[in-house]
A and B are shown apart, each in its own frame.
Chain A
Amino acid sequence: GNSVTQMEGPVTLSEEAFLTINCTYTATGYPSLFWYVQYPGEGLQLLLKATKADDKGSNKGFEATYRKETTSFHLEKGSVQVSDSAVYFCALKETSGSRLTFGEGTQLTVNP
């Protein structure tokens, strides 16, 4: 079946540091890939997405590129802020149906 694996967390960075959160997936066919973010006390919010190989999703300074050859969708940001502190979830959606399969999440803490 489909699965998503995220780097083991949590991740603690200083403000303005470079961020990478690794995500790899296993799926049949050509899934769409997503990053969701969950701020404390809030629901999950879509951060960015990519629907086909080599697509780059970007939003709020975050980027992720759909790499079919390595089955990866790593999240990056060049300079994190304290306000980026949250839990980040990588997810995939199969080409048929609309079920989202999530990774286990990565807690990011950014210190001033």
Chain B
Amino acid sequence: KQEVTQIPAALSVPEGENLVLNCSFTDSAIYNLQWFRQDPGKGLTSLLLIQSSQREQTSGRLNASLDKSSGRSTLYIAASQPGDSATYLCAVEGSTLGRLYFGRGTQLTVWP
């Protein structure tokens, strides 16, 4: 069974810092990996999707990498801002098409 772990569980940083969120998964047979942002009590906003054949994806200040063989992904956030404060979730789509397996998330707080 696919298990997804995210480290750290919580992170508090001052504005302007560059930071890295980590995600690991136990079964490397995945189709893709997706990073989401979730604001308190709200739905999920898709940030980046990396197909299994790709190594990284970039969108603005966000860069996500994927090492499928080692079962790891990182989300890099450059020049963090207070508006980045949210919970960040990673999810993998494995051998069961369409089913996403989620980690518990990293709760990020960026203070001014």
A and B are partners in one complex rather than unrelated chains: no
